[in-house]
Each structure stands twice: as C-alpha cells, then as structure tokens.
Amino acid sequence: MKILVNERPVVVGEGTRLYELRDTLYPGADCIVVNGFPSPVDRTLREGDRVVFIKRGECPAPEEFEALLTARHTPGVHEKIRTATVGICGLGGLGSSVAVALGRIGIGRLILADFDVVEPSNLNRQCYFVDQIGMPKTEALKATLMRLNPYLKVVTHTQRVDEASVATLFEEVDVMVEALDRAEEKARLVEAFLTSYPTVPVVAASGLAGFGPANEIETRKVMKNLYVCGDFTSEAMEHQGLMAPRVGVAAHHQANAVLRLLLGYRP
C-alpha cells in the first residue's frame, strides 16, 4: 500500500497502524498530521494517506523541512501552486499582507514591486517591523518572506510601475494582484495589465477603509478576467483611515482569490 510520509513515498503493509509507523520511522514524534489535519487517535492507514510526523521543538532535517511547512495544507494544493508565479504591484497594507499569505502557502514565485520605503505610519496595517523603518519595502518584505518560507523565489523591483513597465515586469505571472493606493493608479494598472495580457486574471481591491463591518468586504467578478475585493465604497480619506483589521480582510480576500484561481476555481 503506497502512502506518503513527510512527503516521501513509502510502501507499508495492509493493516499498518499510524502509531506503529511512527514508532518505526519517527519514534518520539509528538505531532501527527494526516491528510492536512492533526490526528488525535491511532488508526489503520489507507492507500494514498499523507502522513507528517513532527517532533515539537526540533528543527527538521533540510530534506524534510518543506514537507513540514505544508503539512496542514489541503492535500494536493501545494503541488499545484509551487510552480505558479504571482505578481503584486504595491506593497502597502494590501500587498504586504497578500505576499505574506501567499508566501506562507508556498506559491512558487512572487514578483513584487514598490518604490517606497517603510515608515512608522505604515506599521498600523502593513507587514513591516520597527527595525525595518527606512528600508525599501521590497527589501524588507523579501527578508520577512525568507524568514517564514525559505523555499520561496522572490523577485523584487524597487520602482514606480507605470503603463510601460507593467507589461515587462509582470510578463510571466499566472495571476496579477493590484495592491496600489490611489484610485487613479488602480484604474491605470488594471487597464495596462489587462490590455497587455487579456487572458491573465487580475485581482484588485477597492473600498477597505474605516472600521465598518468586515462582512461588507466581498470578492466580486467584475470583468472577464478582473476580480475586485472590497466594499466598493469605503474610500481612504480624512476621518476614514486605513487600519489592519479591515485592510487585512480585503488583503486575504485577494490572497484567497489568487489561490482559487491557481487551483482552477472561480473566486
């Protein structure tokens, strides 16, 4: 019977039980994940089971590390996304959070673009840290991503993106994320990308300011290849700021939409 143990193919006899396998291969493992879910009890193994044995507190061997990072994924997801490339234009409240979410699940390659540096007023919503103030956002975010998933390929462009450069910088992406701040820039980026690559989906965002109900944030298909996440009305302006909770909801709507598109589902 063929199963996977820490992502390696292993053949076991019919009737082999989980704890028996642990005692043979990973004695002392105190966390067992089966098919993406922590298994609380012993059971008989089945054909195709994906089992991950983890010993808490221990750093895994390099050849096993990637398997452990994705132990809690829905089985089959990582294989599909590890060869994907996602572009993110804008690394602020939306873009930095989308990048971290996609980085954690092991998207193969991220192409990130932003001209700006980290400054203190960013920290109320953006995935940066006090010790990164003054650093270009591209560098700071890449350093953070490498800390949470060293297997990522991260390509950075520390520059403003315009209609001319969008087509070259993001030529190879499977999905494009619009994570800019100004409405005019959002509109221009979406138009420039979709006229250059009309068959590549774009996930944009509009309407995420303030502290209105999170339930008002939604993901909507608005064109053949354009999805927009947000409430479509809450504009960032005086007396309506941008803050981590609601911005994060929109960003994770975007990240989930990207994942669904890569897996072949409509967001």
Q: Could you list the residues that contact another protein (CB under 8 A)?
A: 90, 92-95, 179-184, 186-188, 190-191, 194-195, 198, 204-209, 222-224, 226, 228, 230, 232-237, 242, 247
Nearer residue to another protein within complex by CB, 66 or 181: 181
Q: Least distance to another protein from the beta carbon of 57, Å?
A: 39
All residues at 6 or more sequence positions from 129 whose CB lies less than 8 Å from its CB, including other chains: 123, 140, 144
Q: Least distance to another protein from the beta carbon of 91, Å?
A: 10
Nearer residue to another protein within complex by CB, 87 or 106: 87
How many helices (H) and strands (E) are present in the chain, helices listed first? 8, 12
Nearer residue to another protein within complex by CB, 52 or 112: 112
- Cα–Cα separations (whole angstroms), residue 69 to 9, 22, 134, 149, 256: 17, 19, 31, 8, 18
Q: Least distance to another protein from the beta carbon of 240, Å?
A: 8
Q: Least distance to another protein from the beta carbon of 232, Å?
A: 7
CA pair distance 60, 109, nearest whole angstrom: 23
Nearer residue to another protein within complex by CB, 20 or 181: 181
Which residue in this structure is represented by tokens 């922590």?
38
Q: Least distance to another protein from the beta carbon of 253, Å?
A: 13
Q: Least distance to another protein from the beta carbon of 102, Å?
A: 16
Specify the length of the chain in residues.
267
- The values of phi and psi at residue 5, to 5°, are -120, 115
Nearer residue to another protein within complex by CB, 33 or 173: 173
Nearer residue to another protein within complex by CB, 22 or 246: 246
Looking at the DSSP bridge assignments, the partners of residue 202 are 176, 226
Is residue 264 left, alpha or beta, with left meaning phi > 0 and alpha meaning psi from -120 to 50?
Answer: left
Q: Residue 42: how many CB atoms within 10 A of its CB?
A: 12
